[in-house]
Structure 1
Amino acid sequence: MILDIRDKGAFNEGHLANSLSMPITTLPNHLDTLSKQHTYYIMSHSGRRARVIAEFLNKQAFDAVAVIGGMKAFRQINVA
């Protein structure tokens, strides 16, 4: 499952299909909506904040992986 931690505006401008929007500012208050049975791939703009959040979630016993390069890298790869 892809967990997009960018703000709603950035998410609405473009995101990966089926990703879940949970802005970094609200994430700590919504941990009860996440399942410890899933692996979460954390998406931010450049990947920097994703690493911080993945570490935070792992300390809370979630399986979380930061997407290195974030949406910035994804967009560069998908430019035809």
Structure 2
Amino acid sequence: MSIPSVSVTEIPQGANILDVREDDEFAAGHIDGAQHIRLGDLPVRYGEVPLDEDVYVICRSGGRSRQATMWLNDNGFDAINVDGGMGAWNLDHGLPIVSGGDGEAWVK
């Protein structure tokens, strides 16, 4: 089964972004405005994910977001995996991130 996926440069402006990394990874650096639900919490918190809009799912490098995208699509959502994850977003393309604290944002 094919999983819908896009590169970080194909994410539309204002898109719903779901970050499925762990709490410490998200706090270190994330896309401003991204929704955060850890992959392990998704089966319990899926009701917080928009059901009627595309959701772009991201993690560190693409593995966890791929799992989340499969699960969401199997459960009626319109989820799209972000290839390369935060590594591609910030490290490869230099796109902006924010931290959850006072320190400088970085991809953990």
- Aligned mates of 1:14, 1:34 — CA distance in 2: 21
Could you tell me which residue of structure 1 aligns to residue 66 of structure 2? Answer: 51
Could you tell me which residue of structure 2 aligns to residue 26 of structure 1? Answer: 41
Give, as a single letter, the amino acid of the residue that structure 2 aligns with 1:65: I
Taking structure 1 as the reference length, the TM-score comes to: 0.92
- Aligned mates of 1:62, 1:44 — CA distance in 2: 18
Could you tell me which residue of structure 1 aligns to residue 94 of structure 2? Answer: 78
Give, as a single letter, the amino acid of the residue that structure 2 aligns with 1:4: D
Structure with max Cα Rg: 2
- 1:66 pairs, out of 78, 81, 84, with 81
Q: SS at the partner of 1:54? A: helix
Preserved contact between residue 62 and residue 81 of structure 2 (Cα < 8 Å): yes
Task: Specify which structure has the bigger relative contact order, considering alpha-carbon pairs within 8 angstroms and separated by 6 or more residues.
Answer: 2
Preserved contact between residue 21 and residue 64 of structure 2 (Cα < 8 Å): no
- Aligned mates of 1:75, 1:17 — CA distance in 2: 12
Taking structure 2 as the reference length, the TM-score comes to: 0.69
Q: SS at the partner of 1:66? A: strand
Would you say how many aligned residue pairs link Structure 1 and Structure 2? Answer: 79
1:6-27 superposed Cα distances (whole Å, 9 cap, x missing partner)? 0111001000011001011111
Could you tell me which residue of structure 2 aligns to residue 12 of structure 1? Answer: 27
For structure 1, the residue ranges without an aligned partner over 5 or more in a row are none
Give the share of equivalent positions with the same residue, in percent. Answer: 30
